[in-house]
Chains A and B, each alone.
Chain A
Amino acid sequence: MKEVNELILKDFRLEIRQRYAINGILLYVFSTIFVVQLCFGRIIDEKTWIALFWIILLFAAFNAVSKSFNQESSSRRLYYFTLASPLSVIISKMVYNTLLMLVLGILSLGLFSVFMGKPPLYPALFIPAFLLGSAGLASALTMVSAIASRSGNNSALMAILGFPVVLPLLLLLVKASQTSLKEVVEAGVIFRLLAAISLIDLVVVVLAVILFPYLWRD
């Protein structure tokens, strides 16, 4: 547990020191949302709003997470390999990326509301779906970036490998957001959607924890 905390702190410090990476992603989110605003104008219909929101968040997530394993050189990775267990490495990376995703997500939600207005989303469904979904997207992409970092051309491969992996989650999230447009959503529907999202999250996390040791060693 202490190991995990230390590793998360290390990632956080690295992010603060190399500020260009996080600034790049923030600028990316801002500029895409601004472009969307220029193209669609202020009032767009709610389904388009939801689709654009998740697409922009997805690509921001790709950008943010894809560097999580190749920002460190292979010799430094060897050093961590001797220090930490693979389990704490993957958990710390997933937690860190989840936090990063949440920051990005809340920021883009805010920017979207400022530039394009906010559709009336039913909070009891949208907020938990958003939190669970961000965690799931971050964990799945962390695992994919671990896979992609072990092969040659990283960025192209990240997109190819990651797209199918995050798609079920993304579809469920879009569906949950569209359902939350209704004024009142029944508890059963909320429960079913959230259960499906958390099930996928759980499967991804469990698989990642089991399989990461095979990726970590040389």
Chain B
Amino acid sequence: MIKSMWWKFLGIFLVLYSIIAGLLIEVPALPVIHQTIRNLFYHVPMWFSMFFMLGTSLVFSIRYLSGFRMKDDLIASGAANTGLFMGSMGLLTGMIWARFTWGDFWTNDPQLNGAAVSMMAYLAYVVLRGSIDEAAMRARISAVYNIFAFMLLVIFLGVLPRLADSSLHPGKGGNTSTMGGLDPMMRLVFFPAAIGWILIAFWLLQLHNRRRALVQGVKLNNL
């Protein structure tokens, strides 16, 4: 199933649909946000796909620690790299959005700072991998750190923003959730966009892993 093509086409189709429909549909013109709300279709799916990638990375790190197969380590590190890429796209789209709604590229918002620090944790993971030469040792130690990094991600993006006194993000710091108040028309674009970008992220991960498996001479069965 992973080897088949249909989910890649589905991903392309959904992303194309969300880009075209996202620019064409009527959106509610709310104060301050106005038309920039369309960025919801591009900004939020980046974070969703980042969560999926880093979750995949966590799962394969745990699998590595329970079986010590190099294939699991390859997928775990590939997923962390892909997750970092999706996360930085999320930061970039968010910064552009912030510039036009909140007036600045960076604001002192718990969600933003949390995202930056968890990105830093995963960058530290990449540095840690680079600093150990022996492959088995690198796999084992980085798998341990990866579990810590995911814990940080959950704390920084899931827990601390909700405890914060104020936040500019919906659903955080006592604000109402996005999903509760989302326009029904926009839901028709938002959910396909999220699914589409998640599928694209998995495709990226597959390509990344296949290339690295070729370079490192690790055998990937059924991937």
Q: Which residues of A contact B (CB under 8 A)?
A: 143, 147, 150-153, 157, 160-161, 163-165, 167-168, 171, 192, 196, 200, 203, 207, 211, 214-215
Give bound CA distance, A171 to B132, whole Å: 31
From B124, B143, B144, B159, A164 is in contact (CB under 8 Å) with B124
Give the residue name and chain of the A residue nearest to B143 (CB): A214
Task: Give chain A residues whose Cβ lies under 8 Å from the Cβ of B133.
Answer: 152
- Say whether B155 faces chain A, with CB atoms less than 8 Å apart: yes
- Say whether B37 faces chain A, with CB atoms less than 8 Å apart: no
- Say whether B145 faces chain A, with CB atoms less than 8 Å apart: yes
From B121, B131, B144, B159, A215 is in contact (CB under 8 Å) with B144
- Say whether B76 faces chain A, with CB atoms less than 8 Å apart: no
CB B102 to nearest CB in A, in angstroms, measures 22
From B65, B117, B155, A200 is in contact (CB under 8 Å) with B155
Can you sample 7 A-B contacts with CB below 8 Å?
A150-B132, A151-B131, A163-B120, A203-B151, A211-B144, A214-B144, A215-B144
Q: A211-B147, A215-B140 are in contact. List 11 more A-B contacts (CB 8 A).
A: A147-B141, A147-B145, A152-B132, A157-B128, A163-B120, A164-B117, A164-B124, A165-B152, A196-B159, A214-B140, A214-B141
6 shortest A-B CB distances, which residue pairs?
Answer: A164-B121, A151-B131, A211-B144, A160-B124, A151-B132, A168-B155
- Say whether B148 faces chain A, with CB atoms less than 8 Å apart: yes
CB B144 to nearest CB in A, in angstroms, measures 5
Task: Give chain A residues whose Cβ lies under 8 Å from the Cβ of B120.
Answer: 163-164
What is the predominant secondary structure among interface residues of chain A facing chain B? helix
Give bound CA distance, A143 to B149, whole Å: 13
Task: Give chain A residues whose Cβ lies under 8 Å from the Cβ of B121.
Answer: 164-165
Give the residue name and chain of the A residue nearest to B156 (CB): A168
The total of interchain contacts (Cβ-Cβ below 8 angstroms) comes to 63
- Say whether B163 faces chain A, with CB atoms less than 8 Å apart: yes
From B65, B131, B141, B152, A153 is in contact (CB under 8 Å) with B131
Determine if A196 and B141 form an interchain contact, defined as CB atoms under 8 angstroms apart. Answer: no
What is the predominant secondary structure among interface residues of chain B facing chain A? helix
Determine if B151 and A207 form an interchain contact, defined as CB atoms under 8 angstroms apart. Answer: yes
Determine if B160 and A171 form an interchain contact, defined as CB atoms under 8 angstroms apart. Answer: yes
Give bound CA distance, A167 to B160, whole Å: 11
Most chain A CB atoms below 10 A, which of B118, B120, B145: B145
B105-147 residues with Cβ-Cβ distance < 8 A to A are: 117-118, 120-121, 124, 127-128, 131-133, 137, 140-141, 143-145, 147
Give the residue name and chain of the B residue nearest to A211 (CB): B144
Known contacts A207-B147, A207-B148; A150/B137 CB under 8 A: yes
Give bound CA distance, A211 to B140, whole Å: 10
Task: Give chain A residues whose Cβ lies under 8 Å from the Cβ of B141.
Answer: 147, 150-151, 214-215
Task: Give chain B residues whose Cβ lies under 8 Å from the Cβ of A152.
Answer: 131-133
CB A133 to nearest CB in B, in angstroms, measures 15
Task: Give chain A residues whose Cβ lies under 8 Å from the Cβ of B156.
Answer: 168
CB A94 to nearest CB in B, in angstroms, measures 15
Known contacts A214-B144, A215-B144; A164/B128 CB under 8 A: no
Task: Give chain B residues whose Cβ lies under 8 Å from the Cβ of A165.
Answer: 121, 148, 152
CB A95 to nearest CB in B, in angstroms, measures 20
